C-alpha cells in the first residue's frame, strides 16, 4: 500500500466550531426547503422511497435533515482502493495525504507556451512520468490530455484510461457521461483493479441524468466515489465564501444521500472545486485566495462529518506558463490545503486551469508536493532528537556536530531534499552554465523516459483493452457520435 504522507500535526481550523455548525444547519435548511434537482427517474424514485419529498414534474427533491444525518453516519471515514500493482493500493482518509496528478486538454509548447493537441505517444509518456514520481499516488480521469491527434473527441477519455492501465500501476480516476462507465468497468475487470469514479454536481443544486446513471452503474461493482462540487462564487453560488460553502455542502450532501441510499457504506471522498468568478472577464480565478479559504473551511466541515476531503484547486494556476506565478500560486494553495486537513490534493503538471499540461511541470510539482507533505509529517521530539547528551559532549567552539554518528543518522530526515530544484552554491551554479529549475526538470523527464519501466499488462489483457476500445468505437458510431 502506498504510504502517502502521514499527518502528525493536527489540521488547522479556519472557522470556529460554532461557525461550522451554522454552515451545517443552513445547509440542512437548503436541502429541506429549497431542494436539489435530480434529472434522473431512478434517482427520484430512490430518494422518494428513502423519505424525501419529490416533485416529479420539476424533478426537485427536498431532503429531510434526519435522512442527511443518517447518510453521513453511513459514510465510512476511510476506504481502500486496489491498484493493478498491490504495492500501489490506497487507504483514503484517516491521517494520510495523497496527491492526484493533474490534467490539461492539450500539451503545452515549452518554447512558445501555446497549447496544441497531444500525440498518443505524448499521452503515454506523460503517464509513465506520473508512474515514476513518488508523490503522485493517483492519475486523473481526463488526463493528462483530452485533445489527442487522430483520436475522436468522444473516444479521448477512453484512450486516456487505456493509457493509464498500460503505463502506470497506480489508481486511476474515471469520469462519466456518454456511457463511459460501461467501458471503464469492463477495463477494470480485465486488469483486476479498482477505479475511483468522478461524480460532479451541476451548480447550482443539480445532478444531471448522466451523472446519476453513472452512480447506479458504478455502485453495481462497488467502486467508491470521488464526489465533487464545482461552484463559481458569484456565478453559480453566492459570492460570499460562507454562502458558497452552503451550496457546495448542499450539493455534496445530496450526493452522499443518493449514494448511501443506493449502497449503504460506500466510500466517498468529497471534493471542493470552488473558485471566484472574475467579474471583469467572466472567467474563473484560478488559485485565488478565495478558493484557498473555501477549501480550508470545506475540509474542516468534512472533518465534522468524518468524510475524507479532496482539494481540487491547488493545481489550477492562472499562469499560462511554468513560471514564478505558477510556482507561488500552486505552492501556497497546496500548502494551505495540506495544513487545513485535505486527504487528497490535485497538483502535478496542470497549466492554466486545465487548459494545458506538461510532464516538466509535473516533475517540478513533485518538489512542491513533497515539501508540503513533509511539512504535515512534522518532526519527533524525544530524548534522542533533543540530543542533550551530544550537546554536552560537543560543547562550545571548537566543537562540531558534523562528524558525529547522530548527525549521520538524522540529517536526511530533518529536511527536504528536492529532486529538481537548483540547490547549487553560486560558484557551482556558474560552472553548471547557470541551469534553471525548468532545465533540470527537462533533464529529469528525459531520464525517467529512458530508464523507468512500467510492468506491462499480460498479452491477453492488452488485447482485451483493445477489444473494449473497438467495442466503444462501434457503439459511438451507431449513436452518430463518430
pLDDT in 10s for each residue of the chain, 482 residues:
999 999 999 999 999 999 999 999 999 999 999 999 999 999 999 999 999 999 999 999 999 999 999 999 999 999 999 999 999 999 999 999 999 999 999 999 999 999 999 999 999 999 999 999 999 999 998 778 999 999 999 999 999 999 999 999 999 999 999 999 999 999 999 999 999 999 999 999 999 999 999 999 999 999 999 999 999 999 999 999 999 999 999 999 999 999 999 999 999 999 999 999 999 999 999 999 999 999 999 999 999 999 999 999 999 999 999 999 999 999 999 999 999 999 999 999 999 999 999 999 999 999 999 999 999 999 999 999 999 999 999 999 999 999 999 999 999 999 999 999 999 999 999 998 999 999 999 999 999 999 999 999 999 999 999 999 999 999 999 999 99
Closest CA to 349 of 76, 110, 155: 110
Return d(Cα 350, Cα 326) in angstroms, integer. Answer: 10
User: In what helix (H) or strand (E) does residue 367 lie, and over which residues does it extend?
Assistant: helix 359-377
Return d(Cα 131, Cα 134) in angstroms, integer. Answer: 8
Buried b (16+ CB within 10 A) or exposed e, 76-98: bebbebbbbeeebbbebbebbbb
Task: Provide the sign of the torsion angle of the four alpha carbons 396, 402, 407, 413, taken in this order.
Answer: positive
Task: Provide the sign of the torsion angle of the four alpha carbons 326, 327, 328, 329, taken in this order.
Answer: positive
> ∠ CA(176), CA(223), CA(136), 5° rounding?
80
- Find out whether 207 and 36 touch, Cβ atoms under 8 Å: yes
Q: Which domains does the chain have, with CATH numbers?
A: 5-14+73-377 (3.20.20.480), 385-413 (no CATH)
Q: What is the pTM of this model?
A: 0.96
User: In what helix (H) or strand (E) does residue 476 lie, and over which residues does it extend?
Assistant: helix 459-478
**Helices 324-339 and 289-305, axial angle in degrees (round to 10):** 20
66 burial via Cβ count (<10 Å: 0-12, 13-18, 19+): exposed
Amino acid at each position: 500500500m502506498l504510504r502517502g504522507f502521514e499527518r502528525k500535526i493536527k489540521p488547522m481550523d479556519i472557522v470556529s466550531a460554532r461557525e461550522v455548525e451554522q454552515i451545517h444547519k443552513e445547509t440542512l435548511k437548503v436541502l429541506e426547503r429549497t431542494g436539489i434537482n435530480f434529472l434522473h427517474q431512478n434517482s427520484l424514485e430512490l430518494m422518494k422511497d428513502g423519505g424525501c419529498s419529490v416533485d416529479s414534474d420539476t424533478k426537485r427533491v427536498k431532503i429531510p435533515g434526519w435522512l442527511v444525518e443518517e447518510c453521513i453516519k453511513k459514510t465510512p471515514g476511510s476506504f481502500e482502493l486496489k491498484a493493478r500493482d498491490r504495492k500501489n493500493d490506497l487507504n483514503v482518509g484517516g491521517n494520510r495525504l495523497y496527491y492526484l496528478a493533474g490534467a490539461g486538454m492539450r500539451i503545452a509548447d515549452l518554447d512558445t507556451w501555446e497549447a496544441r493537441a497531444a500525440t498518443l505517444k505524448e499521452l503515454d509518456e506523460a503517464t509513465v512520468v506520473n508512474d515514476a514520481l513518488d508523490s503522485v499516488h493517483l492519475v486523473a480521469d481526463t488526463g493528462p490530455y483530452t485533445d489527442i491527434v487522430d483520436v475522436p473527441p468522444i473516444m479521448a477519455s477512453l484512450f486516456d484510461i487505456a493509457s493509464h492501465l498500460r503505463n502506470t500501476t497506480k489508481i486511476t480516476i474515471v469520469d462519466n457521461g456518454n456511457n463511459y462507465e460501461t467501458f471503464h468497468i469492463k477495463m477494470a475487470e480485465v486488469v483486476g483493479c479498482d477505479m475511483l469514479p468522478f461524480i460532479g454536481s451541476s451548480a447550482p443544486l443539480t445532478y444531471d441524468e448522466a451523472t446519476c446513471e453513472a452512480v447506479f452503474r458504478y455502485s453495481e461493482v462497488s467502486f467508491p466515489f470521488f464526489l465533487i462540487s464545482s461552484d463559481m462564487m458569484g456565478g453559480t453560488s453566492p459570492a460570499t465564501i460562507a454562502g458558497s460553502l452552503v451550496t457546495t455542502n448542499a450539493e455534496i450532501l445530496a450526493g452522499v444521500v443518493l449514494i448511501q441510499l443506493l449502497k449503504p457504506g460506500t466510500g466517498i471522498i468529497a471534493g471542493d472545486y470552488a473558485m471566484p468568478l472574475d467579474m471583469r472577464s467572466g472567467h474563473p480565478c484560478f488559485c485565488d485566495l478565495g478558493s484557498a479559504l473555501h477549501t480550508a473551511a470545506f475540509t474542516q466541515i468534512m472533518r465534522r462529518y468524518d468524510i475524507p476531503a479532496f482539494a481540487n484547486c491547488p493545481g489550477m494556476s492562472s499562469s499560462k506558463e511554468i513560471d514564478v506565478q505558477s510556482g507561488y500560486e500552486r505552492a501556497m494553495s497546496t500548502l494551505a490545503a495540506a495544513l487545513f486537513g485535505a486527504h487528497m490534493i490535485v497538483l502535478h503538471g496542470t497549466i492554466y486551469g486545465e487548459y494545458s499540461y506538461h510532464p516538466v511541470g509535473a516533475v517540478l510539482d513533485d518538489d512542491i508536493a513533497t515539501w508540503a507533505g513533509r511539512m504535515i509529517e512534522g518532526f519527533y521530539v524525544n530524548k534522542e532528537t533533543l540530543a542533550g547528551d551530544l550537546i554536552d559532549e560537543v560543547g562550545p567552539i571548537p566543537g562540531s556536530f558534523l562528524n558525529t554518528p547522530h548527525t549521520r543518522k538524522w540529517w536526511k530526515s530533518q529536511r527536504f531534499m528536492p529532486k529538481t530544484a537548483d540547490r547549487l552554491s553560486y560558484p557551482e551554479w556558474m560552472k553548471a552554465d547557470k541551469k534553471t529549475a525548468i532545465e533540470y526538470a527537462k533533464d529529469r523527464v528525459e531520464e525517467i523516459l529512458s530508464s523507468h519501466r512500467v510492468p506491462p499488462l499480460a498479452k491477453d489483457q492488452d488485447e482485451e483493452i483493445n477489444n473494449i476500445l473497438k467495442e466503444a468505437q462501434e457503439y459511438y458510431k451507431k449513436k452518430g457520435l463518430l
